[in-house]
Structure 1
Amino acid sequence: MTGTALLAVISLGTVGGAHLLSRARWTWRTPRTGIALWQALGLCWGIATIGALLGLALLPYRSGVLGGLPGMYADQAARLGAVEVAALLAAVSLTGVLLVMLMYAVVQVVRDRRRHRALLALVSRRDSAVPGTLVVDHPGAAAYCVPGVRSSKVVVSAGTLALLDRGELAAVLAHERAHARERHDLVLLPFTSLRQVFPQFGLVSRCLDAVELLIEMAADDRARAGRPPRDLATALLRFAAARPAAAPSGTLGVAAHGRIPVMARVNRLLEPDPLSRPARVAATAAVPIIAGLPLFLLVLPH
């Protein structure tokens, strides 16, 4: 009973933690650690919630969550009452929905990227001014990457080539290559699928927005390595002033919509304020603890 109760408390605690983390600004000072914390928190919520429901269903066997499964299988769930059966069905349903929606999100992204790659093959061209990059003859500002398993495509518009100077363009291309190299699209997938499962909850949308912003900041940090941070900062401001269209579905663009995210990125580029080493170490150490605690409670006999 104790383990089940703790899993339930942890599940509720992750909701409160997500609320606090979605409003936190210290994560902007160490975006990669912030991304890892979000991943650990999401994993912790899923395991703790499903584990609490399973623990409630398996209470008659008094062997914990995983320890009670063989007993339930052996007697064909004969000891389960109405409450326990409802909890078991809820656990199985939640697990199924989360997995199905994650697979749906993967299929949808793969389909959108395949369609967009086929379109790029028809309308894009190579340009010696930007080697390794596809150029689309469109007057608007656009810069994004199309991630892939074997190869990723970085795309810019003719309008972007006219809008940015050489240093700014190099910074934007480095930003997009950072997205592709670090596979930020895979980081977003679980949060995108979670929003599809719970579209009515504003907290889930705020979580996705927070992760998207941290991903952009992480790519900004890669892009400014070895070059003046002002190049990327001015490029972001030019993109914001040009009001670019949203990046195609399944891609990652350089400019997030909204004044606050853009200015937050510009300010941290021009006035970096790294997180102190003790705080960074504490945040990093919290990642495996948050992710591992519900797993420990699952296997603990109780």
Structure 2
Amino acid sequence: MLLASALLAALAFALAWPVPIVLARAAWPSRAPALALFVWQAVAVAGVLSTLGALVTFGVSGLSPTVSDGVRLLIDGVMSGTTPAGLGALHIFALCCAVLFAGHLLLSVLTTVVRTERERRRQHDLVALLSAPDSTVPGARVMEYPAPVAYCLPGAFRTATVLTDGLVKALSSDEVHAVIAHERAHLTQQHHLLLLAFRAWRKALPWFPIATRASDAVGLLVEMLADDTARAESSAHSLVSAIVAVATGGGGSPDVGVADATPQSAAPRVTRLLRDRNPLPRVVVFGVLLAAISLVCVPPILLLAA
């Protein structure tokens, strides 16, 4: 069981430090953003499972040769109000760390969800008050503001695509259509839910590269996915012009789930749109998928084998 705990701890360290750094610097995610998002989720899930698994496995190692029996003896001891024989100070410390770690992550997710949804409701009320539908821009609400700004506003019961009149005046009709298609892609593909999870993780573990790198990388990848959807409906040139206008226009959207174009995100997106499409070979896609699925399966397998 100690071997399993050591292997899980090593995996947790790798997924918390070197792996996200290498993945964030890799060039292939821009060629397959959906696949890269799946890999980031696999790394996150495997990292949490391996961390909790390492702590729990070590914590019950003094109670029984197997994890299942050790957990059963621990639960029996807790229910009876006694300390099981063989449970030392280090074991108790590891189990307390596991409980605190799980509780901290869960609390971070819950507080982030509640605060974000509260802010979204407030933004929806402001949008309803300060904007109006425009016959020249179907499917969007237009707000009076000189800077070119566009963002989607998700919500539990209502969604909105918001543009400023500064953007409508600055862009051509094709460019406005590309912007709307991009923002609608965020809503239909539920990108805000994915970003919310990684944002909560970043707030919970701001000192770990897995949290900070993942949040930044996922934010850029969802923009690329939305770009792909918009490019299927509009020309790449129109989309690029719109991205540059929004990124350099000096405006900003509320932080409610999906970021708009920024100077930092615009450069890789524009470069990607202007060059020829070069998707990953199918054999590479299959290999990466298999590796990501295997990564998630490793912690449960080690726990069952312990």
TM-score (norm 2): 0.92
1:59 aligned counterpart, secondary structure: coil
Please point out which of 85, 88, 91 is paired with 1:81: 88
Contact 1:40 / 1:287 at 8 angstroms: preserved in 2?
yes
User: Any stretches of 5+ residues in structure 1 without a counterpart?
Assistant: none
Q: Corresponding residue for 1:288? A: 293
Matched, 1:249 2:255: yes
- Give the partner amino acid of 2:203: Q
Matched, 1:265 2:272: no
Contact 1:176 / 1:252 at 8 angstroms: preserved in 2?
no
Q: Corresponding residue for 2:50? A: 48
Q: Corresponding residue for 2:131? A: 124
Alpha-carbon distance change, 231 to 276 in structure 1, aligned in 2, over 3 angstroms: same
Please point out which of 70, 73, 84 is paired with 1:71: 73
| C-alpha displacement of 1:39 | 0.7
Q: Distance in 2 between matches of 1:139 and 1:282?
A: 48
TM-score (norm 1): 0.93
Deviation string, structure 1 residues 105-135 (Cα, Å, up to 9, x no partner): 1011101101101111111111011122111
Q: Distance in 2 between matches of 1:270 and 1:53?
A: 48
Contact 2:150 / 2:246 at 8 angstroms: preserved in 1?
no
Q: Distance in 2 between matches of 1:285 and 1:154?
A: 37
Contact 2:248 / 2:262 at 8 angstroms: preserved in 1?
no
User: Any stretches of 5+ residues in structure 2 without a counterpart?
Assistant: none
Q: Corresponding residue for 1:163? A: 170
Contact 2:63 / 2:84 at 8 angstroms: preserved in 1?
no
Q: Distance in 2 between matches of 1:273 and 1:301?
A: 42
Alpha-carbon distance change, 195 to 62 in structure 1, aligned in 2, over 3 angstroms: same
Contact 2:44 / 2:210 at 8 angstroms: preserved in 1?
no
Q: Distance in 2 between matches of 1:106 and 1:297?
A: 32
Q: Distance in 2 between matches of 1:145 and 1:215?
A: 13
2:181 aligned counterpart, secondary structure: helix
RMSD, matched Cα: 1.6
Alpha-carbon distance change, 301 to 274 in structure 1, aligned in 2, over 3 angstroms: closer
1:60 aligned counterpart, secondary structure: coil
Q: Distance in 1 between matches of 2:10 and 2:209?
A: 21
Please point out which of 3, 21, 24 is paired with 1:22: 24
Identity of paired residues, percent?
35
2:139 aligned counterpart, secondary structure: coil
Matched, 1:107 2:114: yes
Q: Distance in 2 between matches of 1:81 and 1:176?
A: 55
Matched, 1:194 2:198: no
| C-alpha displacement of 1:60 | 1.7
Q: Corresponding residue for 1:37? A: 39
Q: Distance in 2 between matches of 1:143 and 1:219?
A: 13
Alpha-carbon distance change, 251 to 71 in structure 1, aligned in 2, over 3 angstroms: closer
Q: Distance in 2 between matches of 1:188 and 1:148?
A: 13
Q: Distance in 1 between matches of 2:263 and 2:12?
A: 32
Alpha-carbon distance change, 251 to 73 in structure 1, aligned in 2, over 3 angstroms: closer
Aligned residue pair count: 298
Deviation string, structure 1 residues 228-286 (Cα, Å, up to 9, x no partner): 111111111222232322x202142431342xx31211111121221222211211222
Alpha-carbon distance change, 128 to 41 in structure 1, aligned in 2, over 3 angstroms: same
Alpha-carbon distance change, 208 to 178 in structure 1, aligned in 2, over 3 angstroms: same
Q: Distance in 2 between matches of 1:63 and 1:220?
A: 53
Deviation string, structure 1 residues 58-81 (Cα, Å, up to 9, x no partner): 102334434421121224441310
Deviation string, structure 1 residues 28-78 (Cα, Å, up to 9, x no partner): 110011111111101111110011000000102334434421121224441
